[in-house]
Structure 1
Amino acid sequence: MERIFTDRQTDIKDFLDRKVEEYNRLSFIENDPICIPHRFERKQDREIAAFFAAILAWGQRKTIINKCTELLARMDGAPFDFIRNHRETDLKSLLGFKHRTFNDTDLLYFVSFFRLHYERYNSLEDAFLPPSANPAFRAEYMEAYPVTADAEEVTSPTCLLGRLAQSRFDMEEGLIHFRNYFFSQADYPLRTRKHISSPAQNSACKRLNMFLRWMVRRDERGVDFGLWHRIAPFQLICPCDVHVERVARKLGLIQ
């Protein structure tokens, strides 16, 4: 850990800015699980590949990348087409897949969920929008009155209403809704529930929050995708697990 000097706030900002420069660059992601969705161009392929990469993000990065590569190869390298158009016999290619406690039973349910979801919606973003967010209103309003992500000031009634439309729910509510929606099929395997976390179970939801960052956050660096616009970057959560807490305490950000 680099030393924090006298002007503490300035030093912390400089330190964190240097870390952003170090890690938020395309050269870093070659050996990071986010390289998996970067292999695709279609929005839905990226959503599906990113979701699996986040859910399977246990252990060494090399192993995670290899297992994700194997999984997508079992889907003929076209996850969205496979999920939308597979026949029952095509699912045999998924049998035997395993990464730690995630196995083919879990995988088959994930595929079933994705198929049902994409029959109704064009994007996985809708799965994270709780009923209180009124997705139809949000999509229509934000298309008519877009609010840029980098806007520094809110100066007009249109901007104020736009921000209100964007922030009608927090991500904790969205994560709880997603888990309930994900397991809304009557025949879901009980064992699969452990792979989708929720704040309602006092989970930090680290992998889901990482996935959301990939989908929502956008800048000129090209690391995160910024595919979604009905969830705003300021709604994202950085889970405070034991490692984040340790660093935050060392930096004096929390006591």
Structure 2
Amino acid sequence: MICLKDKLEHIYSLYNKREYVDPDPLLFLYNYSEKKDREIAGFIAACLAYGRVELIMETVGHILGKLEPTPFGYLMSRTKKDMANDFKGFRYRFASDDHLISFLWGIRGVLKRFSSLENCFYAGWASEDETILPGLVFLFNQVNANKKIGHLLADPQKKSACKRSLLFLRWMVRQDQVDPGGWEKIRPSQLIVPLDTHMHKTGLMLSFTKRKNSDMKTALEITKGFKKILREDPVKYDFCLTRFGIKRDLNMDDLQKFIYT
């Protein structure tokens, strides 16, 4: 009988490929060869990754287009007034232009103090930490120093699953055909699955959790389930498994057939 790990590895071999990324805000990260630009683009793309994917892609593309030629150069050279002019009238779902400008200004403050988002994260994280949560709490508090970024960044000190922040960390820590990586000090074993609707359904299907709430406790339970299969990289299968439900030609019934037949 084929074990679950073998089945997951088979799904990974089929769908963890660049050709399956579109449409996904991860696409934008491939445009930046410099880590200092890629982490900023990734952070912005992840924090806007809610709602209809077509609108996500349009909105992230609009924002990053304003930050040309490089996100790092833009943030380090513009004043808050410049940003207000560049993004006047911006609105996406719950986010207004004031929220976005406060968010970008918060990132700029981090760059001024720590030189990169990565260094800021490390300032609140230790290699012996079980998960990335301590570093994520520190990064959140630094970016949200002015308390005006609204819902663009979830507070990891609350019950939220912090899906968008955990998605960003997957992109920056893991490195394979899909995830570009760049942050080399964090071990993939410290990552937590970015819990969206598709991963929650998968966690229930695999009996990794019985919880109905999509919160951090559920994300940790599902991560623990994957750790029993692949302790050193529990988030490895996140991308390929969530294609079922995101891609129009793949659905949860197809995934169930892969797992149980």
Range of TM-score over shorter length: 0.7 to 0.9
The residue that corresponds to 2:247 in the other structure is: none
Shift of 1:88: 4.8
Q: Which residue of 2 aligns with 1:33?
A: 25
Cα offset for 1:70? 0.7
- For 2:42 and 2:191, how far apart are their aligned partners in 1? 16
**Cross-structure match for 1:138:** none
Which residue of the partner structure matches residue 229 of structure 1?
A: 184
1:249 aligns with 2:236: no
Q: 1:95, 1:102 → 2: CA distance?
A: 12
Please list, as runs of the form range in 1=range in 2, the aligned pairs for 1:68-217 lying within 5 A after superposition: 68-91=60-83, 92-131=85-124, 133=126, 166-168=127-129, 170-185=131-146, 188-189=147-148, 192-217=149-174
Aligned alpha-carbon RMSD (Å): 2.2
Distance (Å, rounded) in 1 between the aligned partners of 2:76 and 2:123:
24
* Percent identity of equivalent pairs: 32
> Which TM-score applies when normalising by structure 1?
0.73
Shift of 1:108: 0.9
> For the residues of structure 2 that align with 1:209 and 1:132, how far apart are their CA atoms?
15
Unpaired segments ≥5 residues, structure 2: 211-261
Query: Which residue number in structure 2 is paired with residue 64 of structure 1?
Result: 56
Change (3 A) 1:240 1:63: closer
1:237 deviates by 0.5
The aligned counterpart of 1:13 is 5
Question: What's the TM-score, normalizing by structure 2?
Answer: 0.72
Say which SS state the counterpart of residue 194 (structure 1) adopts.
coil
* Contact 1:57-1:207 within 8 A present in 2 as well: yes
Listed as ranges, the gaps of 5+ residues in structure 1 are: 1-6, 134-165
2:184 aligns to what SS in structure 1?
Answer: coil
- State the number of aligned residues: 209
Q: Distance in 2 between matches of 1:43 and 1:197?
A: 23
Counterpart Cα distance in 1 of 2:123 and 2:159: 19
Q: The residue matched to 1:90 in structure 2 has which SS?
A: helix
Answer with 1 or 2: which has the greater Rg: 1
Could you give the per-residue CA deviations for residues 30-59 of structure 1, whole angstroms, max 9, x where no partner exists?
321100111122212111111111011112
User: Deviations for 1:63-115, whole angstroms, at most 9, x for unmatched residues?
Assistant: 21111111112223422111001145532011122211112111111221122
Structure 1 counterpart of 2:175: 218
Asked whether the equivalents of residues 197 and 203 of structure 1 are also in contact (C-alpha less than 8 Å), the reply is yes
| Greater displacement, 229-238 / 112-121 | 112-121
2:172 aligned partner, one-letter code: M
Q: Which amino acid aligns with 1:199?
A: P
Task: Tell me which amino acid in the other structure corresponds to 2:163.
Answer: K
Structure 1 contact 31–62 (Cα < 8 Å) conserved: yes
Q: Assess if the C-alpha contact under 8 Å between 1:130 and 1:174 holds in 2.
A: yes
Q: Does the CA-based 8 Å contact 1:216-1:232 persist in structure 2?
A: yes
| Partners of 1:117 and 1:124 within 8 A in 2 | yes
Q: Is the CA contact 2:47–2:152 (under 8 Å) kept in the aligned structure 1?
A: yes
User: Cα offset for 1:240?
Assistant: 4.8
Alignment partners' CA distance in 1, 2:55 and 2:125: 39
Amino acid aligned to 1:201: K
Pairing 1:24–2:16 present? yes
